[in-house]
Structure 1
Amino acid sequence: MSVRSLCTTLVLSVALAGVVVPTASARSTTYELPGDSGGSKYEGIGYDVRAQRFYVSETTGGEIHRGRLRSDAATEWLAGDGTDGRWTARGVTVDARGRVYVAGGPNGIDHPGAPDLWVYDRDGRLLAALRTGVPNAFLNDLVIGPDGAAYVTNSNAPQVFRVAEHHGRWTIRTWADATTTIPTQTGFNLGGIVLSPDRSALVVAQGNVGKLWRFSLRTGAVSAVDAGTADLVNADGLVQQGRTLWVVRNFSKVLSTLRLASDGRSAQLVAATPTDPERVFTTAKLAQGRLLLVDSKFDEQVAAPPYQVVALNPPRR
């Protein structure tokens, strides 16, 4: 066991109420990621339930790595460094057909004319490379809606984009613009996104101010989620299962557990659990009862291995 893995086990196995602990099973508790010799950093993760595969995005180059739950290491699945016009990547999600959606973050900002988002099939064949047409768009995270479309957040403006396919033709458009409701603040604005338990709305994190917002899927209307006095600053990735909402609070190094109203209009803090102080987790996906969290390396000026995804048993109180 590596020093980092041992440290993770010790920190996360402390016998405190609600603390996150590694699962005890034959499955790995850490998954190794490929990295570049000059240092690699990571952000998003998607999970294919049917194939039991996860996909991790690399911000430093835009590579997409793929792994299996019962294998200790992921491998590079899609090359970066300009492949398909992709120089960086952020959020990843997978739809019911196994199609992999990759949000480009600032890809179109740093490389004018380059795509903002890509869609691939399970075999890695490019299905679409799309531009929003919106200046300064930073596509961050994604969720598949009840209609089968992907909904994508913009971290530079209070907007949500919709990505859909009809008879083989892919489109992306601004689905909701909440400029009059959500003030844009310095730093990263809209990020993590999930469905409400009743699938009537999107619940979106605004991490720089620690707020959650509800977007009605029927009308596009936007309202603040009443989370009481819960501290959600640095909210990044969101994971929803039933009425449980886990909030990955990257640089705060906390995993917050909330009880979410069925319609997503309110949430109550259940637990705020410290995570490994040596890691900055960005986001997560639920896979066979465990949270797969991405160790971003965002706290390191020049990232050094091990590069890992960490699997944890989440708090469920």
Structure 2
Amino acid sequence: MTKESYRPRPVVAVAGATGAQGGAAARTLLDQGFRVRALTRTPDSPAARALRVLGAEVHGADFDDSGTLEAALKGADALFAMSTPFGTGTGPETEVRQGIRLLEAARGVGHIVFTSAAHADRGTGVPHFDSKYRIEQHLRGLGVPWTILGPAAFMDNHTSEWTLAGLREGRFALPMPADRPLALVSARDIGAFAAQVVARPGEFAGRRIDIASDRLTCPQIAEVLSGVCGRPLVFERLPLARVEAFSADLAAMFRYFTEAGLDVDVEALRRDFPETGWQRFGTWAATQAWQLG
């Protein structure tokens, strides 16, 4: 190979790289030969160390510190950006502030892929959807090529202790009617699709795409989980008031899921983007370690 023909591999910065979405994106990008710069507040965490072993550069970056963000993003060819209102000391306003600060620090980056939420651009009234849409609007005016992904409900949330506690008692509980399908996507598929966008920026620039890989009713979810967990499970519709007592934001989300629903075209995504390897819920569930005791 001559010096003239050598092309360095693109550098992709990944925000939230030690979390579910960011971690999935970082691992897929590494598998595909990209140089990954993992941005995290916890560069010494086990998740960060695991990314180093896989070949990522790990950079300490604080979404409340523009200096650390600018240093971590310097020279990056693309950015996988995400935001969250959940966590200690956070909320929708904090999410917007931190998300915009990340985007401002990324003005010199060649392409930004931002993961928002399905239907966040539809005036849902869900606080953490609306906050993501405010970040989307800022991104559109930034003057940097962008793509926005809107993931549906996360399959991975069903491995939380909230769900597991119910499964141990023989029930799968959500505040949803039994006949309302729920659009679902795994963190792995979010990362895989984001890597596809990074690899072909010209094809995806300026597009907003809601993504999901399956649609199931809650009784169907319970049936799948019964099979993979090896125990009979029944669906129980949880009163929305119980969710409201825990989080008004999540209650608003489930109210929207119930009344409007998420109309993501799963089959079109499978047809148009087969490289993602979209996971059906049963395929995803069979790969999880269900700690039911």
State the TM-score, normalized to the length of structure 2.
0.29
Q: Which structure has the bigger radius of gyration? A: 2
Structure with higher helix content: 2
Structure with higher strand content: 1
State the TM-score, normalized to the length of structure 1.
0.28
